Structure 1
Amino acid sequence: MAEFEYQDVAKMIDHSLLNPTLTTDDLEAGIQLALAYDVASVCIMPYYMKTCAQRLAGSTVKASTTIGFPHGGHTTAIKRAEAEQAIADGCEELDMVVNLSKVLSGDWDDVRNEIAQIVEIAHKAGQKVKVIFENSYLNDEQKIRLCEICTEVNADWVKTSTGYGSGGATQEDLKLMREHSGDHVQVKAAGGVRDLDTLLAVRAIGVTRCGASRTAEILGEARKRLGLPEIEATASDNSGY
């Protein structure tokens, strides 16, 4: 018997459509792929958020986008405006990048205040926030402090990376983040989850979401192992992460 059900793994995937060179045709194809495989969400470039939300309406696939992406150096006012616009456009989950410069500088009050503001905006609208750390530039002490802050301000997820830094999710980081985040905070892996076995491995750690562009390959293999029919859906594999 398989060690998972299809929905167990499909609803872990945030299908990433963040590569800035994707055309509108690519974005439309990616949305249709996400619907066909019934993933957790589509994480799309902010300018296409409204259209994406319209395409996903009535489905179980959520609309998500990025805030302060990919480097996190936007002012808090701009991140707030991005969050408000995204929610107005139908965004249900906001993937927000921390101010990496302030994290590395140890300006924890500013880091906490900014995360708290975006969480407050999202939660007031009934939506959720994933806080992106960019772990490849951080030491364990900094990662742990971010987990503590996200727990304190009731963020919904802590997330390893943007997919555009110098590295992606590692099992060591995921274990660290799970250990130091509150039970009400979930963990998302981004960058490096490119096959089903890796997805299952991070699931065993306690990861509930993964940013992925190789959705068709991962879930195609899942369906094959489970003896489910193949899904006829294709899209560009250069979407990010």
Structure 2
Amino acid sequence: MNDVPGRIEHTVLGPTTTGEDVTTALDIALRDGMRACLPPCYVAEAADYAPNVEIATVVGFPHGQHTTAAKCHEAREAWEDGANELDMVANIGYLHSEEDERLEQEIAEVVATVPIPVKVIVEAPLLDEEELRRACQTAVDADADFVKTATGFSEGGATVEDVEVMNEYLPVKASGGIGSWAEAKAMFDVGAERIGASSGDVIVAEYREAIEKPDAEDADR
């Protein structure tokens, strides 16, 4: 399993996130070799503060029901501020009302707005398997780069079963409720390419402890 820390996006998102929270998260990401996922209002200063950290930010967060024009504006501004990747919340209302073409068009417009990777958050906990597959196919048809399981601000989070399905379509960012190396490894084992977690430092520490244990056991023999 190659470069585990580099496949983890240490995340600080939420209504009370401060600039100090962001710089602390960036310090941890830099120390542990992780990426970071931050609120859009802090992207410009984050890019200046930690230019060696790959920064993702969110678009249409957390419910995905912004207008397409607003999402495109958010995407463009985030890229201009220094974001390396975008996590866009899909409008699941379109999916539930079977307006898949409308959803595809919106995703495609955001993708076309910026020259950086766009991950589509499909909010898998709110979908049955048929809807999840439609959401992922829509992301494929719109030329998105990744699909992401969840925002973490709705019902549930990442599951092994959802990641297995999503991995049939595009690279997957598993996010929502992943707080340990055991949970992250389970997602990697079924094909997740990235992990989004507010406990990225815990995951990396547990991962490094796990890979060092065999050496310690050999030394005791």
Query: What TM-score results when the alignment is normalised by the length of structure 1?
Result: 0.85
Aligned-residue CA RMSD (Å): 1.4
Give the Å deviation of 1:207: 0.3
Q: Give the Cα–Cα distance (whole angstroms) in 2 for the partners of residues 224 and 26 of structure 1.
A: 26
Give SS of 2:192's match.
coil
Q: Give the Cα–Cα distance (whole angstroms) in 1 for the partners of residues 195 and 206 of structure 2.
A: 16
Shifted more, 143-152 versus 79-88: the winner is 143-152
Q: Give the Cα–Cα distance (whole angstroms) in 1 for the partners of residues 201 and 7 of structure 2.
A: 13
Q: Which residue of 2 aligns with 1:196?
A: 181
Structure 2 counterparts to residues 26-45 of structure 1, below 5 A: 26-39=21-34, 41-45=35-39
Q: Give the Cα–Cα distance (whole angstroms) in 2 for the partners of residues 111 and 23 of structure 1.
A: 32
Where relative contact order (Cα < 8 A, 6+ residues apart) is larger, the structure is 1
Q: Give the Cα–Cα distance (whole angstroms) in 2 for the partners of residues 101 and 154 of structure 1.
A: 20
1:92 aligns with 2:84: yes
The answer to whether the 8 Å contact 1:16/1:213 transfers is: yes
Match of 2:107 among 115, 120, 128: 115
- Letter in structure 1 aligned against 2:130: E
Give SS of 2:95's match.
helix
Give the Å deviation of 1:42: 1.0
Match of 2:196 among 195, 204, 211: 211
The answer to whether the 8 Å contact 1:168/1:190 transfers is: yes
Count of residues in Structure 1 that have an aligned counterpart in Structure 2:
213
Give the Å deviation of 1:226: 3.1
Give SS of 1:110's match.
helix
Q: Give the Cα–Cα distance (whole angstroms) in 1 for the partners of residues 38 and 104 of structure 2.
A: 26
The answer to whether the 8 Å contact 1:56/1:63 transfers is: no
Give the Å deviation of 1:142: 1.2
Q: Which residue of 2 aligns with 1:83?
A: 75
Q: Give the Cα–Cα distance (whole angstroms) in 1 for the partners of residues 23 and 15 of structure 2.
A: 14
The answer to whether the 8 Å contact 2:122/2:136 transfers is: no
After TM superposition, the runs of 4+ consecutive aligned structure 1 residues lying more than 4 A away are none
Q: Which residue of 1 aligns with 2:11?
A: 16
The answer to whether the 8 Å contact 1:147/1:177 transfers is: yes
Q: Which residue of 1 aligns with 2:218?
A: none
Structure 2 counterparts to residues 103-182 of structure 1, below 5 A: 103-122=95-114, 125=115, 127-179=116-168, 181=169
- Letter in structure 1 aligned against 2:121: I
Q: Which residue of 2 aligns with 1:236?
A: none
Q: Give the Cα–Cα distance (whole angstroms) in 2 for the partners of residues 162 and 113 of structure 1.
A: 21
Q: Give the Cα–Cα distance (whole angstroms) in 1 for the partners of residues 185 and 117 of structure 2.
A: 24
Q: Percent of aligned pairs with the same residue?
A: 38
Unpaired runs of 5+ residues, structure 1, are: 229-241
- Letter in structure 2 aligned against 1:20: P
Give SS of 2:167's match.
helix
